[in-house]
Structure 1
Amino acid sequence: MDVNETLNALTQRLPDLPSELRKAGTYLLENAGLIGLQSARSMARDAQVKPNTLVRLSKELGFTGYDQLREPFKARLANASDSFSDQVTDRAVHLQSMHEVGDMSGLHRQMASACTNNTQQFFDHHGHESLQAAAQTVLQASSVFVLGVGIANVFAKNFAYIASMAMDNVIELPKEGTLPIDGMARAKAGDVLLAVTFKPYRREVMEAVAEALRQGVEVIGISDSPAAPHLANAKHRFVVPTETPQFFTSTVALMAFMETLAAYIIAASDSDVVESIERFHQRRHELGIYLNEQTN
């Protein structure tokens, strides 16, 4: 198995593993960049498990041992380009210190590098097949629920707004004055829930996803870690890099994903969708919503 296949297999198996193996698996998923660098003893120490636990976990995934599991990760490191600046423990203090020493050009470089690398890493990890498959799932759904709270809310809203120009079955969650789980009250098999949450994971999103799965709804899960609980039973799983020199989660790659998924949906749609978008904009012109630049 290559790196992506190994991480996907571990993500699928994680909920059913014994507690110690699950603890080790969670650590590997959240620190996948270290697998090719550190020995089993070192990784086990940091994960607070015994080295043999990593061996047992590797065998659960079909490998002969941890060394074989590490091979594709070591190969990827050998071919990888340099990543952006190391994580800063206290990012707010780091930003202020850069200002104090007059190194705002350094901050500019770090921010540009983070935005570029996050987006590139996302597209390197998720090929067109995974995006195309998710788009088909959306197009075949009876209803499409789009859920994001906190920092993810504005991106869920934007995706629902764009998608609703072409489709009349897109429902943004949560509705004002309600909880996300309320939106699942009438959800049923044949529907799709697109759910976004980053660490620390939002409880209301997890509750909505659990209820959706109980009702036979297919889930498209999006997070910054393959160990995110709502990705475990999702039909489609997307891990969005969020690294940044600043103290807020970077959402550049999330926006790129949402825009790209919307593009795949439009590309795979029939001519009725194109006509729906044209009618949408024509109606807005007729209502005077858009400024007529030719009018004095």
Structure 2
Amino acid sequence: MVDPTLKNRTITKIKEAIPVLSPRLRVVAKYIVDNPSDFGLDPIRETARKAGVSTYTLVRMAEKLGFEGYDELREPFRHALVSTAAVVDQREWLESLRNHGDLGQVQADASVNTMAIVRRSLERQSSDQMARVVEMLLSANTVYLSAVRASYALAYYLHYVGRMALPSLQLIPRHMNSAIDELNYAGEGDVMIAITFTPYSRETIEACKFARDKGVKLIMISDSDVISTDFRAEETLVVSTVSTHHFGCYTGAMAVIETLLALLVKQGGDAARRRIKSYEDLRKDNNAYWIAQKKH
């Protein structure tokens, strides 16, 4: 009987070993951590192809971790295997889309993929971890939130809504500064949320390293637990970004952010509800003002 905790313990062992692994073995480590179900399911040659390494490198990885062979390393993943394939009812609207030519097929495939990554992303978040993240955020002196390029849209939305429940939330960088400039006065008691996906932003990685050096606690929202060997986050909310086009699909990340916002509002209590009501009243007053102006 395989120990049911062995898969998680093996993943933890891999993460701890990453800083001392060779570059090729780091590639294998990252692949296993990011794709545990595929690793448990695929034969060694297919895993080597997907990871972009040789079968010999996979065997070396097993030996490096103290396993007798590759099959012994893979067995805990096979035992705990949960298919990452989406369970999506092939409803009539999907079949209807597929019957409308090439674009209909693309739309149907994208729709199925979107529903799948939302489900996979939400399933990966344990209630214990989400509770820890919310507690870290609510107890922080200041919460810095940083992202660049396409990830910035997610960060902007999280900041726009999140500040209702979390007044200490600051979106960085501001005013054409760098994130590091904004973190100059950060320190112990502060928390930073960083959002980045493959290929990981150099600016965000540098900001994370700088923040950790200053004693700031770090929460990552990313597509992997293995982002950099130069720092480790207290918590990483791992989401799926699998896409049917050439760029990452961020609906899974948005779903997790929505869940985080719901928890923050709940834990924010009456104070959060008062801030939300104040904001809604302000919008109503502003709309009434412009309606009156148009009448004149």
TM-score band w.r.t. shorter chain: 0.7 to 0.9
2:36: which partner in 1?
32
Cα deviation, 1:241-269, whole Å, max 9, x if unaligned, reads 11111122101011111111111111122
TM superposition score normalised by structure 1: 0.81
2:214: which partner in 1?
215
1:265: which partner in 2?
264
**Separation in structure 1 between the aligned mates of residue 58 and residue 178 of structure 2, nearest angstrom:** 43
CA deviation after TM superposition for structure 1 residue 237, in Å? 0.8
Distance 1:157 1:21, change over 3 A: same
Partner secondary structure for residue 137 of structure 1 = helix
2-11 or 140-149: bigger deviation: 2-11
Distance 1:290 1:36, change over 3 A: farther
TM superposition score normalised by structure 2: 0.81
Cα deviation, 1:185-236, whole Å, max 9, x if unaligned, reads 1111111110011111110000000000000001101211232228951011
Partner secondary structure for residue 36 of structure 1 = helix
1:227: which partner in 2?
226
**Contact 2:209-2:230 at 8 Å conserved across structures:** no
**Unaligned residue ranges in structure 2 (runs of 5+):** 88-97
**Separation in structure 2 between the aligned mates of residue 21 and residue 82 of structure 1, nearest angstrom:** 27
1:47: which partner in 2?
53
Partner secondary structure for residue 65 of structure 2 = helix
Aligned residue pairs total: 276
Partner secondary structure for residue 269 of structure 1 = helix
Aligned residue type for 1:186:
Y
**Separation in structure 2 between the aligned mates of residue 144 and residue 167 of structure 1, nearest angstrom:** 8
**Unaligned residue ranges in structure 1 (runs of 5+):** 85-98
Is 1:56 the counterpart of 2:63? The answer is yes
**Separation in structure 2 between the aligned mates of residue 192 and residue 186 of structure 1, nearest angstrom:** 12
38-47 or 174-183: bigger deviation: 38-47
| Equivalent runs, 1:117-128 vs 2, <5 Å | 117-128=116-127
1:7: which partner in 2?
11
Partner secondary structure for residue 284 of structure 1 = helix
**Separation in structure 2 between the aligned mates of residue 8 and residue 274 of structure 1, nearest angstrom:** 39
1:96: which partner in 2?
none
Aligned residue type for 2:83:
A
Distance 1:176 1:2, change over 3 A: farther
CA deviation after TM superposition for structure 1 residue 148, in Å? 1.1
CA deviation after TM superposition for structure 1 residue 162, in Å? 0.6
**Contact 1:284-1:290 at 8 Å conserved across structures:** no
Distance 1:119 1:225, change over 3 A: same
CA deviation after TM superposition for structure 1 residue 37, in Å? 2.7
The two structures, once aligned, show a CA RMSD in angstroms of 3.1
